[in-house]
Amino acid sequence: MSTAQRTQHDLAYGCFLPGGVVILIAAIASAIPMDDANIAGIGFLVLIPLTLVALISVPIGIYFSIVFRRDAVLPLLSVLTIFMFAEVVAEAGSVTFREATVWVYGILVWALEASWFLLRRRRTYPT
């Protein structure tokens, strides 16, 4: 395996991180009691820029999940991200369901990303 393929694989996994970070920060911020100024600061300084990065990086990640479809985790990340986007836009289900799906998606993205960068990357591309 070449270094270019390893870099593309890393990029494919890295493209899903901004979406997971945005979701987890929003979930944590909504769970902690704060005043309006703090919420506005977190939203304006952190969530809006990260959301813009996620809007650019997630389609790239979906493209790479098609390219690297033999790695079953990348298509899984794509499907989870598309379902999470649909859930956020449609606001389907109860509030409890939406809050639970946000937490589950954020934790799953971080766990799958960590499994790649900490474990599976070395087995796939030995140095």
Alpha helices (runs of H) in the chain, residue ranges in sequence order? 3-14, 17-31, 36-42, 48-67, 73-90, 95-115, 121-124
Flag whether pLDDT at 1 surpasses 80.
Answer: no
The answer to whether the beta carbons of residues 22 and 50 sit under 8 Å apart is yes
pLDDT band at 106 (very low <50, low <70, confident <90, very high): very high
> How many domains does the chain contain in total?
1
> Does the model's pTM come out above 0.75?
yes
19: its two tokens: 């979406």
**Predicted confidence band at 103 (pLDDT cuts at 50, 70, 90)?**
very high
Q: Which residues form the domain of 35? A: 3-124
pLDDT digits (tens, 9 = 90+) for 73-95: 999 999 999 999 898 888 888 88
Instruction: Using the predicted structure, report yes or no on whether residue 112 has a pLDDT greater than 90.
Output: yes
